[in-house]
Each structure stands twice: as structure tokens, then as C-alpha cells.
Amino acid sequence: MPIYEYRCDGCWLVFSYFFRSVRAAETGAPPQCPECGSVEVQRLISAAAVLSNDPVAEARARESAQPAPSPLYGRKEIQEQMRQERNRRSIARVDGE
Ligand SMILES: [Zn+2]
């Protein structure tokens, strides 16, 4: 029985969903968010895990299923770096004049 993990686009809840079969998972309707009822959910690609008696393998699958950090955070840091770089350049220009 395959388990997939989903992340709700509405409230960002990450939840597991059990399908009766892989075929049902691939062709069936996406599950509803148990928190807010939204069907706007994203399947976490690497999260496909088959129920097993190996808790280590299952934990590993869950770890890799964590959503990526928001790209906005990285962009902000890059912008901050660019801002500092610009400041350095303008200071250098002032010194040269
Ligand atoms: Zn939700």
C-alpha cells in the first residue's frame, strides 16, 4: 500500500495519504487537506514510501520529503549581498574622485 505525502497550498500542512494501490495513486483524484479541506495540494515527489517494517527506511523517506525552504529567503540574501556590493563600489568611486 503506497503512502504519499502532500503539502497543502492553502495552509502548508504536510500530510500523508494512503492509497489502495499505486494505480489509484497515479490516476485518482488528489486527496483533500485534512486541515482546511482544500484540494489544492502538491505531492511531495520523493515521499513515495511503501509500508515496511523498516523504521529507518521510513524515517529516511520522511526526511527527504520535507519541503524545500522558501526561495524568497535565498533571493533576499542575494539582494542584500548585491546591495552591499553596490555600496562598496560607490564608496570606492567617491574615494577616487
Ligand atoms: Zn490545508
Q: Which helix (H) or strand (E) holds 91?
A: helix 71-96
Whole-number Å distance, alpha carbon 94 to ligand 1 midpoint, is: 53
Q: How far, in Å, is the centroid of ligand 1 from the Cα of 30?
A: 13
Spell out the domain ranges in the chain: 1-66, 69-97
Cα of 89 vs centre of ligand 1, distance in Å, is 47
Going by their DSSP bridges, the two strands 41-43 and 2-8 should be labelled as antiparallel
Task: Read off the pLDDT of residues 12-59 as tens digits, 9 standing for 90 and up.
Answer: 999 999 888 888 888 888 899 999 999 999 988 754 455 556 667 667
pTM, full prediction: 0.45
C-alpha cell at 87: 555600496
For residue 41, report the distance from its CA to the centre of ligand 1, in Å: 8
